[in-house]
């Protein structure tokens, strides 16, 4: 999130798109309702009338996978009706930048396309003789970003958008006029999103589309505004920050590539931009190496840079791992608090792939479907060679540690009770694992140095490791005296500081009174609550907050001033996110985005794999042709081998989409084993419209089969008026909605919707397309 | 003046925190349920389910939510008809079920216009919301109210809650809910749960004109002159035995299930 949960109270219009906020993030409604008490409006964009849509002021039913069409329509509406905030975009974004003359877009394809990928050279700015981008602050130059944007989205007129999305013209106009009115300088529009936006073959561009709209309306960096990703798990923000994904190191440093970064000097030279706060990157990486390898890391040996694993240039995300496993390329696997046999796309393929493992260690609260894949329905345990170990893990209430919420607040949680039986904390399991590895490597092995040289000292023997030592290491300390660092501005690239995750630096900088443990409510103010926990970075609660005031420092909305210039100084209700010592305010008026080389936000972004502007494509499987261009799908999708044949419209005429319900959590292994929750939502069900039910003779509460080329599942039909067939380009389209919480283990088993979902994903992130695919449904 | 729960159905997002918090606080077990083509589950209140969320789809395509529990009626049928005096009015104004006195006759279940009291086949005792008497007597709010994330359930003095309900109705009317209304102000001489509704009570599964058969009063009249518990036991035991048998039959026919 750019903002935070409590800040929702300052919104004037909240648009929940690709997020079912009431159902899956119920606490958000406390702050949304606080805003609505002031007259704010809640818009829900969702294929179904969800619990969010039921309580919203406006509901626009959207065909799954057409978010860019809708958001593009809103961008066009904003530009056409001149509702954008001109002074904001001229100063704070790259709207005025003139693009390279080689850039073009034609019939769904951007310049530079060849054989399934883009050469991005033309997605760049025209430079002046000094090498700086040329700009036209009047926004008139035909190749300036604003004009290119305007032309690109002129194609997204209301009629075309409604044709693609399947909504009525009336609904579109109502949503557009309500939301785009937040382009007024003193109004705040807030976009909430979650997996409905990201889980798509153009998921990253969906997110980009929300950002472009918000920038045009001047909604970034202001109280009540923002692009707010609502994370689906309590600590998924923290796990991303700590680099649980294969392509990054903690704090969003790119993972070194073997080809590009053979030495530390190569890494620093290629990964460190000349401008922006990322110019400090060597300090972050070297401090991390010092945290990992301590005294062993010296300037002479490049701080043990060669002990870091390097990437081989290939994709190693979720789908890629399971494809490799299916090919027999992976011997062993730790499945730690994850349940891909239920949560992974094309789940039966992934379950089958697990059979190729020699060993698997599952660490979880219960025996998950993944841990018991070898005795799943129709499997033959005798023919499966995999040795499976199940390590019982402690639940969140049974261990100390911090949890980072969607608003980047790192909040310490104290252990409430002892874990039952032999269950152990994750830290204890990791500590014991390391100690065992160290012992075996001490006897010999291939390349033992990185393991034996680790700076790992959190506890003796089998005692519970001291988690505060881990916290101090993440926060960072001075090598000389082990004193905690105040924050990351104190990091050095000479080996005098250690820091496990630079963005977290400051969260545990006082061992007596760590900020992450603070719980002081704000007495008066705008709800920043600066002494309640710690928000990365630097306890900053709203990112890009220079944008909350105009170039002269006057707040756009004087009722909720965030950082503003008054009486010859900056007054602050938040930690400033700009060079606030550089005055007068005009000095920072064109550098409010300190993490980008331009120092201004990107309406046009050269950094994406699939285009500098979000463009609508149909999902990999769609019942209709792309109305906007002859390019049916995102042209740079990876079509994974395991996918097999796509569903045809003739055999699989309905759109399938998956989601969660309030009563269950993720793969359901915790909630389906919790009788109070399971009693409320006991069985796998699918939601279909009354019209589809009548056509197929399906009665409410009866059993049905749902199928795709990937597999078939059984479920109970819920015939509901909350799902309606949609008119898409003259064709009536039906949707089959299904939660994905069930699996073959636990107190309340059932079939998993992910047996149906495909092995295909976004070209930037490889996130699977869970939200839109083709299926069929029939009576059981 | 007694305290009441204010149910603001237009703020409710049906997270069912109230339903779970009730089971948690009162240590009520879960049952084995089926998905029956509605999110409402268990489908009715039960001896071990004292609060549940009722989901209703309207013809106009709206999805309505109402947290349902004992209404703690000022004119409570259950108190009047219980042959054992097992249902009692507390000082806080709520209706307290005295399980020790309950003989499982189901008479209360038959007369309650809200189908709140239910008898467990396992224990042969009626179970229903106690108004969290042990919490409110200590200055706490009922468990369901405490857990509600966004103020769809509020707890307070009846006059203040009614005032708030009237204000909410005005706000909702201004928002275009012309049919916004208050339920529970006068029903059953005043309910211990005041509902703010945007549709008719029936749309939420609430009886439009709740009441109970006047002959129920006979029980009360019959009890008073007899005076002693022993006499009541002898007299009502015979009748109750019959009624219990009849009640069970009725429950079976309705397809309810209790454990």
The nearest CA of chain A is from the CA of B17 a distance in Å of 9
- Alpha-carbon span A695 to B164, nearest angstrom: 47
User: By the 8 A CB rule, do B72 and B220 touch?
Assistant: no
Q: Write out the two tokens for A518.
A: 């603070």
Contacts for A264 with CB less than 8 Å, ≥ 6 apart: A285, A286, A302, A303, A305
Best CA proximity match to A756, nearest among A714, A703, A693: A714
Measured between beta carbons, the chain B residues lying within 8 angstroms of A686 are: none
Q: How many domains does chain A have?
A: 2
Tell me the pLDDT band of B92, cut-offs 50, 70 and 90: confident
User: By the 8 A CB rule, do B155 and B165 touch?
Assistant: no
User: By the 8 A CB rule, do A397 and A411 touch?
Assistant: no
Out of B23, B31, B61, whose CB is closest to A49? B61
Residue A585 has pLDDT above 50, yes or no: yes
Q: CATH code at A703?
A: 2.40.40.20
Contact A679 B30 (CB under 8 A): yes
* Interchain CB contact of A645 with B (< 8 Å): no
| Domain contains A705 | yes
| Domain contains A184 | yes
Q: Which residues of B36-47 are buried (b: 16+ CB within 10 A; e: fewer)?
A: bbebbbbbbbbb
User: By the 8 A CB rule, do B150 and A30 touch?
Assistant: yes
Q: What is the pLDDT of residues A115-154, one digit of tens each?
A: 999 999 999 999 999 999 999 999 999 999 999 999 999 9
Largest CA-CA distance found in chain B, in angstroms, rounded: 59
- Alpha-carbon span A156 to A523, nearest angstrom: 47
Q: What is the pLDDT of residues B149-184, one digit of tens each?
A: 999 999 999 999 999 999 999 999 999 999 999 999
Q: What is the pLDDT of residues A328-362, one digit of tens each?
A: 999 999 999 999 999 999 999 999 999 999 999 99
Contact A679 B37 (CB under 8 A): no
- Alpha-carbon span A398 to A400, nearest angstrom: 7
Phi, psi of A718 (to 5 degrees): -115, 105
Which residue among A204, A229, A254 closes a domain?
Answer: A229
Q: What is the pLDDT of residues B237-258, one digit of tens each?
A: 556 555 655 555 555 444 433 3
SS3 B128: coil
- Alpha-carbon span A261 to A274, nearest angstrom: 18
Contact A679 B61 (CB under 8 A): no
- Alpha-carbon span B174 to A290, nearest angstrom: 62
The pTM assigned to this predicted structure is 0.95
Size of interface A-B (CB pairs under 8 A): 97
User: Could you tell me which residues are beta bridge partners of residue B153?
Assistant: B7
| Domain contains A527 | no
**Would you list which residues of chain B are within 8 Å, Cβ to Cβ, of chain A?**
10-17, 19-20, 23-24, 29-39, 41-42, 57, 59, 61-65, 149-151, 175
Mutation target among A19, A25, A682, A742 for the B interface, most CBs of B within 10 A:
A682
Strands A253-254 and A711-720: unpaired
User: By the 8 A CB rule, do B52 and B144 touch?
Assistant: no
- Alpha-carbon span A275 to A520, nearest angstrom: 37
- Alpha-carbon span A54 to A722, nearest angstrom: 9
Tell me which residue has tokens 């204890």. A428
| Domain contains A396 | no
Q: How many C-beta neighbours within 10 Å does residue A414 have?
A: 9
Q: What is the pLDDT of residues A274-291, one digit of tens each?
A: 999 999 999 999 999 999
SS3 A401: strand
Which residue among A229, A257, A277 closes a domain?
Answer: A229
Phi, psi of A99 (to 5 degrees): -85, 155
pLDDT of residue A641: 87
User: By the 8 A CB rule, do B52 and B12 touch?
Assistant: no
| Domain contains A203 | yes
| Domain contains A336 | no
Mean pLDDT (chain A) is 97
Strands A401-404 and A117-118: unpaired
Query: Alpha helix locations (H) across A181-221?
Result: 195-198, 203-216
SS3 B71: coil
User: By the 8 A CB rule, do B30 and B109 touch?
Assistant: no
Which region, left, alpha or beta, applies to residue A342 given φ > 0 means left and ψ of -120 to 50 means alpha?
Answer: alpha
Query: What is the DSSP code (8-state) at residue B37?
Result: S
Contact A51 B42 (CB under 8 A): no
SS3 A719: strand
Mean of the pLDDT values across residues B15-40?
Answer: 97
> DSSP of B214-237, one letter per residue?
TTHHHHHHHHHHH-SHHHHHHHHH
User: By the 8 A CB rule, do B181 and B28 touch?
Assistant: no
Q: What is the pLDDT of residues A516-546, one digit of tens each?
A: 999 999 998 999 999 999 999 999 999 999 9
Contact B57 A716 (CB under 8 A): no
Contacts for A610 with CB less than 8 Å, ≥ 6 apart: A118, A202, A204, A205, A634, A635, A636, A763, A764
* Interchain CB contact of A681 with B (< 8 Å): yes
Q: How many C-beta neighbours within 10 Å does residue A609 have?
A: 16
Residue of chain A with shortest Cα separation from B11: A55
| Domain contains A482 | no
Q: Write out the two tokens for B65.
A: 């939510």
Strands A41-45 and A58-60: parallel
Mutation target among B18, B28, B35 for the A interface, most CBs of A within 10 A:
B35
SS3 B98: coil
Which domains can be identified in chain B, with CATH numbers? 1-259 (3.30.70.20)
Mean of the pLDDT values across residues A476-502?
Answer: 98
| Domain contains A548 | no
Q: How many C-beta neighbours within 10 Å does residue A524 have?
A: 4
Q: CATH code at A96?
A: 3.40.228.10
Q: What is the pLDDT of residues A425-483, one digit of tens each?
A: 999 999 999 999 999 999 999 999 999 999 999 999 999 999 999 999 999 999 999 99
**Which residues form the domain of A200?**
5-229
Half-sphere exposure of A381 toward its Cβ, with a 13 Å CA cutoff? 9
Q: What is the pLDDT of residues A211-226, one digit of tens each?
A: 999 999 999 999 999 9
Contact A52 B23 (CB under 8 A): no
What are the start-end ranges of the E strands in A691-734?
A: 703-708, 711-720, 726-728, 731-733
Q: Which residues of A38-66 are buried (b: 16+ CB within 10 A; e: fewer)?
A: eebbbbbbbbbbbbbbbbbbbbbbbbbbb
Which residue among A173, A199, A229 closes a domain?
Answer: A229
Q: How many C-beta neighbours within 10 Å does residue A375 have?
A: 14
């Amino acid at each position: 999130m750019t903002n935070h949960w409590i800040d929702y109270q300052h919104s004037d219009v909240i648009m929940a798109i690709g997020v079912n906020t009431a159902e899956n993030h119920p606490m958000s409604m406390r702050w949304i309702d606080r805003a609505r008490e002031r007259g704010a409006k809640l818009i829900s964009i969702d294929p179904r009338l969800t619990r969010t849509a039921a309580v919203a002021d406006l509901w626009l039913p959207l065909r799954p996978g057409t978010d860019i069409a809708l958001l593009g329509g809103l961008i066009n509406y904003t530009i056409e009706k001149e509702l954008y905030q001109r002074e904001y975009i001229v100063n704070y974004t790259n709207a005025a930048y003139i693009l390279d003359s080689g850039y073009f877009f034609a019939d769904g394809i951007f310049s530079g396309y060849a054989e399934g990928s883009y050469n991005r050279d033309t997605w760049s700015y025209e430079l002046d003789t000094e090498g700086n981008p040329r700009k036209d602050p009047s926004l008139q130059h035909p190749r300036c970003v604003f004009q290119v944007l305007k032309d690109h989205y002129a194609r997204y007129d209301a009629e075309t958008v409604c044709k693609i999305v399947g909504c009525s013209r009336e609904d579109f106009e109502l949503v557009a006029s309500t939301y785009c009115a937040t382009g007024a300088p003193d109004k705040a529009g807030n976009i909430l999103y979650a997996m409905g936006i990201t889980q798509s073959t153009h998921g990253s561009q969906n997110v980009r589309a929300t950002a472009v709209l918000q920038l045009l309306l001047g909604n970034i960096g202001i109280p009540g505004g923002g692009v707010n990703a609502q994370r689906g798990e309590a600590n998924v923000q923290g796990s991303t920050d700590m680099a649980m994904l294969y392509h990054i190191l903690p704090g969003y440093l790119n993972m070194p590539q073997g080809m590009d970064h053979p030495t530390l000097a190569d890494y620093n030279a290629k990964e460190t931009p000349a401008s922006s706060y990322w110019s400090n990157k060597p300090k972050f990486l070297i401090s991390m190496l010092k945290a990992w390898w301590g005294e062993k890391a010296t300037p002479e040996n490049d701080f043990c840079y060669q002990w870091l694993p390097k990437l081989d240039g290939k994709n190693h995300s979720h789908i890629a791992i399971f494809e490799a496993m299916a090919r027999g390329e992976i011997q062993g696997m730790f499945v730690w608090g994850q349940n891909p046999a239920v949560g992974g796309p094309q789940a039966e393929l992934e379950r089958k792939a697990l059979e190729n493992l020699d060993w698997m260690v599952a660490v979880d609260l219960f025996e998950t479907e993944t841990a018991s894949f070898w005795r799943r329905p129709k499997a033959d345990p005798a023919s499966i060679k995999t040795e499976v170990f199940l390590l019982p893990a402690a639940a969140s209430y049974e261990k100390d540690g911090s949890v980072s919420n969607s608003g980047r607040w790192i909040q310490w949680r104290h252990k409430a009770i002892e874990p039952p039986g032999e269950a152990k904390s994750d830290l204890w399991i990791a500590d014991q694992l390391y100690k065992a590895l160290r012992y075996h490597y001490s006897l010999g092995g291939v390349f033992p140095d990185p393991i034996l040289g680790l700076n790992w000292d959190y506890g003796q023997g089998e005692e519970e490791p001291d988690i505060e030592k881990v916290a101090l290491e993440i926060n960072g300390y001075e090598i000389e005296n082990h004193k905690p660092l105040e924050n990351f501005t104190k990091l050095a690239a000479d080996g005098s500081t250690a820091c496990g995750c630079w963005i977290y630096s400051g969260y545990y900088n006082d061992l007596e009174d760590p900020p992450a443990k603070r719980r002081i409510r704000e007495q008066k103010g705008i709800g920043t609550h600066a002494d309640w926990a710690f928000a990365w970075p630097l306890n900053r609660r709203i990112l890009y907050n220079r944008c909350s005031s105009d170039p002269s420092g006057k707040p756009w909305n004087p009722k909720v001033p965030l950082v503003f210039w008054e009486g010859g100084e900056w007054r602050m209700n938040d930690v400033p996110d700009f060079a606030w010592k550089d005055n007068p305010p005009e000095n920072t008026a064109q550098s409010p985005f300190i993490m980008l080389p331009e120092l201004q936000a990107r309406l046009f972004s050269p950094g994406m794999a699939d285009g500098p502007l979000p463009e609508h494509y149909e999902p990999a499987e769609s019942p209709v042709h792309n109305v906007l261009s002859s390019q049916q799908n995102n042209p740079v999708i990876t079509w994974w081998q395991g996918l097999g044949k796509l569903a045809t419209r003739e055999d699989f005429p309905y759109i399938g989409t998956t989601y969660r319900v309030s009563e269950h959590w993720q793969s359901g292994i915790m909630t389906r084993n919790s009788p109070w929750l399971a009693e409320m939502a006991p069985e796998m069900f699918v939601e279909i419209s009354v019209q589809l039910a009548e056509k197929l003779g399906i009665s409410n509460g009866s059993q049905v089969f749902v199928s795709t080329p990937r597999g078939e599942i059984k479920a109970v039909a819920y015939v509901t008026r909350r799902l309606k067939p949609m008119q898409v380009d003259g064709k009536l389209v039906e949707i089959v909605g299904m939660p994905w919480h069930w699996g073959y283990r636990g107190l309340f088993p059932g079939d998993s919707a992910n047996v149906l979902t495909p092995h295909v994903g976004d070209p930037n992130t490889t996130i699977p397309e869970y939200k839109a695919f083709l299926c069929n449904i029939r009576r059981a | 003046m007694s305290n009441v729960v204010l149910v603001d159905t237009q703020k409710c997002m049906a997270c069912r925190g109230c339903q779970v918090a009730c089971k948690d606080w009162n240590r009520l077990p879960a049952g084995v349920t089926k998905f029956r083509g509605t999110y409402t589950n268990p489908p009715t209140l039960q001896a071990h389910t004292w609060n549940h969320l009722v989901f209703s789809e309207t013809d106009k395509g709206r999805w309505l939510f109402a947290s349902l529990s004992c209404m703690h009626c000022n004119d409570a049928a259950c108190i009047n008809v219980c042959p054992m005096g097992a249902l009692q009015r507390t000082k806080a104004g709520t209706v307290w079920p005295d399980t020790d006195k309950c003989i499982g006759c189901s008479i209360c279940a038959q007369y309650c216009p809200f189908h709140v009291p239910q008898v467990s086949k396992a224990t042969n005792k009626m179970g229903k919301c106690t108004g969290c008497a042990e919490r409110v007597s200590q200055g706490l709010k009922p468990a369901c109210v405490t857990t509600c994330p966004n103020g769809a359930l509020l707890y307070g003095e009846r006059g203040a809650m009614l005032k708030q309900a009237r204000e909410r109705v005005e706000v909702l009317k201004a928002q275009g809910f012309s049919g916004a209304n208050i339920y529970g102000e006068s029903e059953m001489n005043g309910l211990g749960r005041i509902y703010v509704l945007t549709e008719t009570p029936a749309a939420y599964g609430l009886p439009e004109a709740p009441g109970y058969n006047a002959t129920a009063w006979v029980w009360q009249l019959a009890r008073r002159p007899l005076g002693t518990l022993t006499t009541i036991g002898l007299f009502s035991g015979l009748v109750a035995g019959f009624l219990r048998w009849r009640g069970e039959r009725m429950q079976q026919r309705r397809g309810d299930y209790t454990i």
